Structure 1
Amino acid sequence: MDISCRRGSIVCFYAILIGLLLTFSSTGSYAARDWQSFHTGWLPVSPAADTIKGTVKSHQFPLVGYRISLYANFTIAGGFQRKLATAVSEEDGSFSLHFRLPPGLLETMPPVLLVVAEKGEVTLATVVAGNDVPSKLVVNERTTVAMATAFAQFIHGKKLRGNHVGMQNAVKMAANMAVPSTGLVSPVLLQKPNGNETSTLPTFNALSNVVAACVATQQHCEQLFAATTQVGEAPVDNVLQAIANAARYPSYPYYPQDSADPLFLLSLAAPVYQPALPQRPTNWLLFIKFTGGNYSAQDQFNLINGPGNIAFDAEGSAWILNNYVPKATNENACASQRLLRFQPWGETYPGSPYYGGGLSGAGFGITLDPRGRIWVGNFGFESPACADGTVPPDPDNKIPATHNSVSLFHKSGRPISREQGFTRGNIWWPQGTVSDRRGNIWVANCGNDTVTMIPGGNPLLAKNFPLPGSNPDLQPTESPSLKPFAIAIDRRGRAWITGNKSERLYRIDRRGRVEEVDIAGVELSWPMGISSDSKGNMWVSNSDAVNVPCVDPLDTQGGGNPSMVFIPADGSAPVQVFGQGGLSIPWGNAVDGSDTIWVFNFGHTPFEDAQEDTVWPDTGVSRFCGSGECPQGMSVGDAISPDTGYTSDALERITGGGIDPSGNLWLLNNWKKIGPFVYDTNPGSNSFVIVPGAATPVKTPLIGVPRHFR
């Protein structure tokens, strides 16, 4: 049965439900009344019986007398949870669970199966997919941290509730951290580019030790619950909610004083999992790094070099554009001609990377249209030696960068545009590339101070709109005056464009009426990214540092006073926030399903003090209270992240990022953080980072304003 319409109308939903009922009836095992009975708690006899055997442990020690419960968490009919089986762990910690599931559901919308082990105030857990149940499980502190972190946005007390896409993908994300069948750390965390190369594994083990402390004594459980209870929210009374809250509210004040961080102190009480953090972190988020393989070093065999921006499809797959051909650090990197796609849990998607369609050094522009097609702006990133022909061509760089097109790909990865891409509409050094809800594609032409609109995605109808202050006589080799960079769409379908060099903000409606936006009372300073929230309010990243390389070379500025600007949709006074929350060359930004703003920082200043071997401090992500749900006592523009930002040694210079249906935060390590801005050879980094459970889920693809994916 085709269920592709399930994220559309209510009609589609009922069509699916009716189809499920017919499926149950056709098997002879379930009639419609049986499904109704299952929904209300009665489990009829079914041939889809199964058994899970497992063990409850604390590190290597079996836990006896724990009550084991198996829950099926369904995401249809508004979402509900049903207990399928119970058991009690034996002297050796073993248990056996016998259960049945409706076979029709396993073929269409399989439930998420949650195994919970409880005794007193201790709650341990693991999670698996209903259509991929291992015959043996281990439930311990590591599986508990993995499950509670991956499902941080879906845990409500001891129940799971959330959208089908995000819940299913979160099962795989949990397996990135701990293996359900063994309870051991996943190879993803153990091996490069994670392992001993970042602090992510020690942070994961430290959180596991926090849970181990609770297993050891009741007093530690009470301390954990108190430390993770948020002001204005119900008191935490179980370990799952506590660890989920550690991902949702990951920082404590007065860094770096260890005594001010209750989770760090708890991690020292029973340090059975090693290696663990020797000192407190700026935050308790888990930054899982991906390069496309088990490697960190850069060379011509890498998958990624200079990931610039990201877009998610309806299933949560991540489409990432790539600036440069993979090369070693000291080699010239030419314009990339590949488009990358990854599974929602970070694994390279089968068939990726994709080639063709005119791809040429894509920069910051990538979007999905309402038909699920992928549009990419071909900015033409390349080192100067590639542009002048000094570097010979290679298999992934057959032609010089073109700077004058957008590419279009089918959702399968097949190119739709031809080898030269779509060039109509006076496209020149395109950056931001965004679709609106009607399928119009908007392109910010950084190289000639204009915006191209492709009505309904038809390249033959492309129109070009000069921005106020542009030079109609500007030559292709001349430096532009405005440098339009990023685009966001408001609730009325209007495109908002940042002028990086002009330090202005522009707006164009669907009829082509262009205006400069009056934002009296605030000052833009080399602005970069822009995002809309669900109400149509706008957020602008002020880098105060980057005059983007666009026709002319990179020209760095001061960078000492970065800020974020909030522009209300109702026309009231804008709000400007300077230097808080860890802002450090803010580049891109994204709004989550609760209208909280996340800012992606490119790095540190001053540039002039950097040498080739200078290692900058760890890069951070900034988080600000938006127009929606805020922590108690905060209002729009208040920094939620600490003065350091949420830092990690897994991060380098970040340009783009986004939030997926699971609430995972994706961050793109675009440039290296070692040394100054090196633009002449290969500045690109070769990785991206996923932070599980950090943000409120967003319904994808993101077209227009963001929507909470419940």
Structure 2
Amino acid sequence: MNTIGKYIVLAGAAALTCAAGGASARMVEGRVLGGNAPVAGAAVTLWVASSTAPQEIAHATTNAEGRFTIDIPAAAAGTSHYLIAKGGRSALRGGENPAITLVTVLGSETPPRLTINEFTSIAAAYTHAQFIDNRGISGQPLGLKIAAGNVPNFVDLETGGWGEAIQGPLNGGQTPTMANFATLADAMAGCVTSVRANACALLFAAAQGPDQDAPRDTFAAIRTIARNPWYKPARALALIADFYPTNPRTQMREVPFMPYLLREPSAWVMPLKFDGGGYRAGGKAMFDSQGNLWVGDNFTIGWQGQDSLWQGHASKFAPNGKPLSPITTGFTGGGMEGGTFGAAVDGNDNAWLTSYGSKAITVFDKSGKPLTPPEGLTFGGRLGLMQGIIVTKTGDVWALGIEKDQLVYFPKGDIAKGRIVCEGKSAEPCKSFAAPFHLAIDQQDRIWVSNSGAPHVTVFSAADPTKVEKHATGINNSGMAIDSLGNAWITNRFGTGALGMAHLVDMGVHLKERGVASASDYLTSIMSKQKGGEHGGSVTLIRPDGSSFPGAPFKSGGLPGPWAVVVDGNDNVWISNFAGASSPIVQLCGARTENCPPGFKTGDQISPPEGYVGGGLQMLTDIAVDPAGNVWAMNNWQDIDACIGVPPEALSTRCGGQGVVIFYGMAAPVAAPQIGPARRP
């Protein structure tokens, strides 16, 4: 198998050779380390990543201390710089080691000094997992920018040590990510430093992917693990015991990087959590054209939030997880009070959000300035509790009212021309609604609506909404997504069968006798106790002609309470769960099985039996795939005892979920903003 190092041109023994100097170039001092020891005689090459094939522009060779200097020019627009260190010999032991390949990605930044080691390599492999092939790194400009911008979250480019986010208070000791990261670095270092004569062969065998194609260098090994984190994870952990004996005096293994894992991970994932920007109990989320994430919040920071009143605002995060909205309040005004599962971004990067507290629709421009009046768009107070909202390729905006079975329409996104199309049983398609929750538009310009109050979806023509179809689903629908073949994926929070229907009936009784807050509390209480499998949630798949896809609905251990569903650029499917204190995210094989691992069919769960976990996941609402292939999950509730009834004072502000969680490089990238079915950038 070819590797990323195949195209490196070895450059003699000189300590410095530059091929792209000039007035704009900056001389950078670097070092190559393996297991914290110098790697001498390594060939270091500087590459430019872009939308075309990667290009080598400079090279150098490390001295006996692993040091080198190299001229790095300013990065051209839409490009990213990265360096590869290949071959050489470790100062710890052994001779020339052709299996060594270490990488660091600089992006458009040029630090005065840099380190290339196992940490920089793992950070590069995960953040750029969707952009690496046998030639090197390449991709669309925005995706490369997002990927490079996230590298410092894992590693300090200058020192090769821990980055700010991974060791910060939201991650650090709160999640297994540091231990996952360091353990893979230890396994990689075993080969780099030749801790055993066959260390590299053992690493390559442990990293072999489901296609049974074994890697041949250290970076290829990590890249294979990053692309297949679910596949036989015990193998890489076993290397730690093989490579590093326990010291009887300290009772610890003498590894180069700490902390190492003590127990087998379910998958080699590297999620990180980010908070701030007024985020609390996020609902629906959408990316703008620059990869920034917009999300409406159920609550505000410090609010003793419960379903009786949602009064949150809007939050915005940069592609690297840094909050862009005000730290405590988020973006306010324009009627934004109590964000829901309604968020969309139009072609001008305006964010459209729906609310419960104000029963309104709010629009913000890209800077967070409200474009709607202080009370929002309420149509004279006629709107009820609002949920889903979408933008179509023609610029039209459609929104749903869950409380009053309403359909709202803004032609070409013109706020002044918005109107309520129908309400309740006044006309179709509202007559076929039953507490409509979310909506999506397919390739035939038909709008599909999920119904939380009935086991069917409603489908109507955008050109003539009175033309309606209904198709059977599971029970208590919420999320919906259309794949590239026009299939509709729908999450059923109560699954299928008699038990799910009994839950739906009971929820209806709560709604009728005690109101919306009581019904919502019943829903979330039941979902929090569900387990994956026969009595958990399910996923319906409906073909464009309205027929059920063979084998659907899909159930699995990773679907205890499925809430949202998204389709990635390969048509594989990602699902969030609102169930239990640490709800998982799940990857299913989509309708284009050629993009699934060998042996998988549509609806099969690719992720581990109980889903992907870690990263500080709580009870989730939305899930989203960005233009770099990172999967974002929205923490919605964190402590259910604080959300229902009268909680203890000390827990009274802990209902709302804390932060967003990013799983790096997991999915095929999706163009942003997503208008219509997901498509590759």
Same fold (TM over 0.5): yes
Deviation (angstroms), 1:242: 2.6
Give the secondary structure class of the aligned counterpart of 2:166: helix
Deviation (angstroms), 1:513: 2.4
Q: 2:590 pairs with 615, 621, 626, which one?
A: 626
Runs of 5+ consecutive residues of structure 1 not aligned to the other structure: 1-41, 254-259, 293-301, 381-401, 474-479, 605-615
Matched, 1:122 2:100: yes
Deviation (angstroms), 1:309: 1.8
CA contact (8 A) 1:465 1:514 kept: no
Distance 1:313 1:678 in 2: 34
Q: 2:270 pairs with 286, 290, 299, which one?
A: 286
Instruction: Letter of the 1:524 partner, please give it.
Output: G
* Counterpart residue number, 2:231: 252
Give the secondary structure class of the aligned counterpart of 1:355: coil
**Structure-to-structure mapping, 1:333-348, within 5 angstroms:** 335-348=310-323
Distance 1:335 1:564 in 2: 28
* Counterpart residue number, 1:463: 419
* Counterpart residue number, 1:593: 569
Matched, 1:654 2:620: yes
Distance 1:122 1:304 in 2: 43
Instruction: Letter of the 1:114 partner, please give it.
Output: L
* Counterpart residue number, 2:497: none
Matched, 1:314 2:295: no
Q: 1:230 pairs with 202, 206, 209, which one?
A: 209
Deviation (angstroms), 1:99: 4.5
Distance 2:443 2:203 in 1: 42
* Counterpart residue number, 1:428: 384
TM-score between both structures, scaled by the size of structure 1 = 0.79
* Counterpart residue number, 2:28: 52
Distance 1:365 1:449 in 2: 15
Instruction: Letter of the 1:367 partner, please give it.
Output: A
Deviation (angstroms), 1:515: 5.7
Give the secondary structure class of the aligned counterpart of 1:434: strand
**Structure-to-structure mapping, 1:699-710, within 5 angstroms:** 699-709=671-681
Structure 1 residues 331 and 538, CA gap change in structure 2 (3 angstroms) = closer
Distance 2:645 2:680 in 1: 39
Deviation (angstroms), 1:679: 6.5
Give the secondary structure class of the aligned counterpart of 1:686: coil
CA contact (8 A) 1:157 1:241 kept: no
Q: 1:551 pairs with 508, 516, 524, which one?
A: 516
Q: 2:117 pairs with 140, 159, 162, which one?
A: 140
Instruction: Letter of the 1:307 partner, please give it.
Output: G
* Counterpart residue number, 1:482: 434
- Name the % identity: 27
Matched, 1:221 2:166: no
Deviation (angstroms), 1:332: 10
Structure 1 residues 286 and 472, CA gap change in structure 2 (3 angstroms) = same
Distance 2:468 2:642 in 1: 34
Give the secondary structure class of the aligned counterpart of 1:539: strand
Give the secondary structure class of the aligned counterpart of 2:154: coil
Deviation (angstroms), 1:417: 0.5
CA contact (8 A) 2:308 2:517 kept: no
Distance 1:181 1:464 in 2: 57
CA contact (8 A) 2:72 2:110 kept: no
Give the secondary structure class of the aligned counterpart of 2:27: strand
Distance 2:570 2:442 in 1: 17
CA contact (8 A) 2:474 2:553 kept: no
Cα-to-partner distance string for 1:390-435 (whole Å, 9 max, x where unaligned): xxxxxxxxxxxx22x1011112221110101112395321111111
Q: 1:261 pairs with 234, 239, 263, which one?
A: 234
Structure 1 residues 674 and 267, CA gap change in structure 2 (3 angstroms) = farther
**Structure-to-structure mapping, 1:367-378, within 5 angstroms:** 367-378=344-355
Q: 1:415 pairs with 347, 355, 370, which one?
A: 370
Bigger Cα displacement from structure 2, 561-570 vs 262-271:
262-271
CA contact (8 A) 2:44 2:86 kept: yes
Cα-to-partner distance string for 1:135-190 (whole Å, 9 max, x where unaligned): 11111111111111100111102500111101111112111000110101012111
Distance 2:46 2:240 in 1: 28
Q: 1:535 pairs with 478, 485, 499, which one?
A: 485
TM-score between both structures, scaled by the size of structure 2 = 0.83
Distance 2:20 2:679 in 1: 38
* Counterpart residue number, 1:645: 611
Structure 1 residues 206 and 198, CA gap change in structure 2 (3 angstroms) = same
* Counterpart residue number, 1:441: 397
Distance 2:33 2:215 in 1: 23
Structure 1 residues 113 and 351, CA gap change in structure 2 (3 angstroms) = farther
Structure 1 residues 525 and 282, CA gap change in structure 2 (3 angstroms) = same
Matched, 1:87 2:60: yes
Structure 1 residues 698 and 458, CA gap change in structure 2 (3 angstroms) = same
Deviation (angstroms), 1:463: 3.5
**Structure-to-structure mapping, 1:488-503, within 5 angstroms:** 488-503=440-455
Matched, 1:275 2:240: no
Runs of 5+ consecutive residues of structure 2 not aligned to the other structure: 1-17, 89-97, 245-254, 495-499, 647-651
Give the secondary structure class of the aligned counterpart of 1:225: helix
Structure 1 residues 165 and 330, CA gap change in structure 2 (3 angstroms) = closer
Distance 1:331 1:81 in 2: 52
**Structure-to-structure mapping, 1:9-408, within 5 angstroms:** 46-75=22-51, 79-100=52-73, 106=76, 108-119=77-88, 120-130=98-108, 132-157=109-134, 159-217=136-194, 219-232=198-211, 234-252=213-231, 261-268=234-241, 269-270=243-244, 271-292=255-276, 303-327=278-302, 335-349=310-324, 353-380=330-357, 402-403=358-359, 405-408=360-363
Deviation (angstroms), 1:92: 1.3
Deviation (angstroms), 1:577: 3.9
Structure 1 residues 570 and 578, CA gap change in structure 2 (3 angstroms) = closer
Instruction: Letter of the 2:671 partner, please give it.
Output: K
Structure 1 residues 326 and 515, CA gap change in structure 2 (3 angstroms) = farther
Instruction: Letter of the 2:587 partner, please give it.
Output: R
Bigger Cα displacement from structure 2, 421-430 vs 309-318:
421-430
Instruction: Letter of the 2:238 partner, please give it.
Output: L
Deviation (angstroms), 1:43: 6.1
Structure 1 residues 639 and 275, CA gap change in structure 2 (3 angstroms) = same
Instruction: Letter of the 2:169 partner, please give it.
Output: K
* Counterpart residue number, 1:561: 536
Distance 1:432 1:649 in 2: 27
Cα-to-partner distance string for 1:290-316 (whole Å, 9 max, x where unaligned): 122xxxxxxxxx832111121101111
Deviation (angstroms), 1:45: 6.4
CA contact (8 A) 1:590 1:657 kept: yes
CA contact (8 A) 1:139 1:183 kept: yes
Deviation (angstroms), 1:674: 5.6
Distance 1:677 1:564 in 2: 27
Instruction: Letter of the 1:308 partner, please give it.
Output: G
CA contact (8 A) 1:563 1:583 kept: yes
**Structure-to-structure mapping, 1:685-700, within 5 angstroms:** 685-700=657-672
Structure 1 residues 279 and 517, CA gap change in structure 2 (3 angstroms) = farther
